[in-house]
Chain A
Amino acid sequence: MGSFLSFVRKETLHIIRDPRTMLVVLLMPIVQMTLFGFAISTEINNIDFAVVAPNRTSAIRQQVERLAANAYFTYKGFISPKETDEVLRRGETDVVVVFADDYDRKTLSSALSPTDGAAIQLVFDASNPNIAAAGAGYLQQVLSVGGPATLIEPEMHLMYNPQMKSAYNFVPGIMGLIFILICAIMTSVSIVREKETGTMEVLLASPVRPIRIILAKMIPYFALSCINLATILLLARYALDVPISGSTAGIVAISLLYLILALALGLFISTIADTQVMAMLISGMVLMLPVIMLSGMVFPIENMPKILQALSTIVPARWYIAAIRKLMIEGVPFAAVLKEFAILSGMTLALIGIALRKFNDKLE
């Protein structure tokens, strides 16, 4: 046991003696959370609109005022129909709201024939489809409140995230990304570094069991990641106002499991890579892409082609992010994420098994 502790102390010293790396590791979650949480936002905040209205009746004025008063829209003034294309092209507005000549008649008459055409037309600059789609949806909602009641009007409730905040989506995603990156890069690089410098051979020629060398390496990084976990949860709760509606214990439990999985992944990478650069490339590129693309962090898994959907099932981040989303945002009890927990446990065990076997083979 004494030798094990001297190893943990040694690994801790390695980390402390390299303050730049430690700083990067501790600051990375803060930077990413800030970037994704504030800067990269898919929310629609500031949509400029212009209005085309041949007859400016009081009903139309009322509608325009209501829109202009809305925090999400900025009123740019009335324009003539001919100018529509031009203002959109020049980027002066994002949308042009066109009221029909006979807006009042169309909105008042209860028996409209289908051939009458719409009372309002929305012309969007869809060069950024995200803004166009989200803006169209919201604009429609606002207009329909003051406009004609259609026969079947769906009443929408956006559960769990009524304000459609993108932080709700990104926070679990960032957690899935950061832990994999930090744990896998740091462990794989630190193991490969010892292979490169030759100290690993000396350790292997000593009576210390290889599993202890590895475990001792993982403990300080595990501790560091726990600090990161705390940072992220605090930032999410107090800076980004993401509710932590489920059990905190459940979130922590599944996160710790995910950390162990990421550490095992790092160990596995260290058995493949022979140089630190290689280890960094594998953990950076090979891990990052699937985590971003296939985990549901950015692109919904349900929209993917079947092959990619199948592929996503082997990406651990997918299950972790799904579980965190459920626990954090939906606030389900821990029992509801047992499936994800079981899958992640299985993956962790398998990875540790494969990595240890490969590590021992390498000694041969």
Chain B
Amino acid sequence: MNRDKVISVKNLSKKFGEFIAVDRISFEVERGEIFGFLGANGAGKTTAMRMLCGLSYPTSGSGTVAGYDIMTQGEEIKRHIGYMSQRFSLYEDLTVWENIRLYAGIYGLNRRQTLRRTVELLDRLQFRSEIRTRVGSLPLGWKQKLAFSVATLHRPEVVFLDEPTGGVDPVTRRQFWELIYEAAAAGTTVFVTTHYMDEAEYCSRVSIMVDGQIRALDTPTLLKQQFAAKSMDEVFRTLARDAKRGE
């Protein structure tokens, strides 16, 4: 396989009984890309993402994530990816340090690595003074940044972010995206779902899902040209107009 394709799927489908949540999607994501995965609620993007993360088995199709087969090597995939769910995913009753230590333990980092990376992480976020603070008492924006940093603590090849900036103010969202750029520059591939169209503009490439299928996939600039639209928002609305599935 091509080493530079971190994610590569072909005709991936997921059926729940009669309902086809994901309908034969195919795409590739290259190393270091920030890949935006867009779609209205119910378009199937979360289901697709869960299959890529090894949380759900595809009904048919094939694919690899970080070089491992999604049908047979789910455990290996989990070792090499990071995941941040749309709901806040740290433990509020534990301190910043306790959360970091837990995830370091889960991904098998040794003591020295854990300490070094913790210091790096806290310096990057300017969080040093908060190391003994319970996460529950941090502002939401800080929590999200911390959650992202923890999800990439083990230096995964690809990190999956499921609507990471939901409910966060614009300034913090901006800061959050700076973190994403930093991670991508360091070679981590970022796979992100969002419904903020301004965020879609930040992505290297964007795919738009409608009714379980990928209807468009390109760089934001080319997509705007293709649909003769001024913004990603317009592109999205053009595509979503003929969606059959309601919310």
State whether A204 touches B55 (Cβ < 8 A).
yes
Question: Do B85 and A13 touch across chains, with their CB atoms under 8 A apart?
Answer: no
Within 8 A of A (CB), among B111-142: 134
Judge if A61 is at the interface, Cβ distance under 8 Å: no
Task: Check if B229 is an interface residue, CB within 8 A of chain A.
Answer: no
**Residues of chain B from 70 to 114 with CB closer than 8 A to chain A in the complex:** 75, 78-79, 81, 83-94, 98, 101-108
Kindly state whether residue B56 has any CB partner on chain A within 8 Å: yes
B67 at the A interface (CB under 8 A): no
Asked whether any CB of chain B lies closer than 8 Å to the CB of A56, the reply is no
| Nearest CB of B to A124, in Å | 58
* Tally of A interface residues using CB under 8 Å: 24
B105 pairs with A17, CB closer than 8 A:
no
Docked Cα-Cα span, A9 to B56, in Å, equals 28
* Interface membership of chain A positions 6-49, coded 1 if the CB is closer than 8 angstroms to chain B and 0 otherwise: 11011001100110000000000000000000000000000000
Pick the residue among A7, A13, A202, A208 that contacts B89 (CB under 8 A).
A202
Q: Report the Cα distance A139→B53, complex, angstroms.
A: 76
Decide: A364 and B108 in contact? CB cutoff 8 A. Answer: no
**B57 part of interface (Cβ distance < 8 Å):** yes
For B98, what are the chain A residues with a Cβ–Cβ distance below 8 Å?
10, 13
Instruction: Answer yes or no: A199 CB below 8 A from chain B CBs.
Output: yes
CB neighbours (8 Å) of B108 from chain A are: 2-3, 207
Q: Contact partner of A205 among B53, B90, B92, CB < 8 A?
A: B53
Question: Is B78 a contact of A199 with CB atoms below 8 Å?
Answer: no
Q: Is B54 an interface residue (CB 8 A)?
A: yes
Q: Do A3 and B87 touch (CB < 8 A)?
A: no
CA of A208 to CA of B98 in the docked complex: distance in angstroms?
18
Q: When A6-B101, A13-B94 are in contact, do A197 and B88 touch as well, CB less than 8 Å?
A: yes
Chain B residues with Cβ below 8 Å from A2 are 105, 108
Do residues B106 and A6 form an inter-chain contact, with CB atoms below 8 A?
Answer: yes
Q: A206–B107 contact, CB under 8 A?
A: yes
A197 to B143, CA, bound (A): 14
In the bound complex, residues from chain A placing their C-beta under 8 Å from that of B151 are 202
- B241 CB to closest chain A CB (Å) equals 32
In the assembled complex, the CB of B35 is this many whole angstroms from the nearest CB of chain A, namely: 17
Check A14 against B93 for contact (C-beta < 8 Å): yes
Alpha-carbon gap, A203 to B82, bound state (A): 11
- Extra pairs beyond A7-B105, A17-B93, A207-B75 (20, CB < 8 Å): A2-B108, A6-B101, A7-B106, A13-B94, A14-B91, A14-B94, A17-B134, A197-B92, A198-B88, A199-B89, A199-B90, A199-B91, A201-B55, A201-B83, A201-B85, A205-B54, A205-B55, A206-B83, A207-B79, A364-B57
22 A-B residue contacts at CB 8 Å? Answer: A5-B105, A6-B101, A7-B105, A10-B94, A10-B102, A17-B94, A17-B134, A197-B89, A198-B86, A198-B88, A198-B89, A199-B90, A201-B83, A201-B85, A202-B83, A203-B106, A205-B55, A205-B83, A206-B83, A206-B106, A207-B75, A364-B56
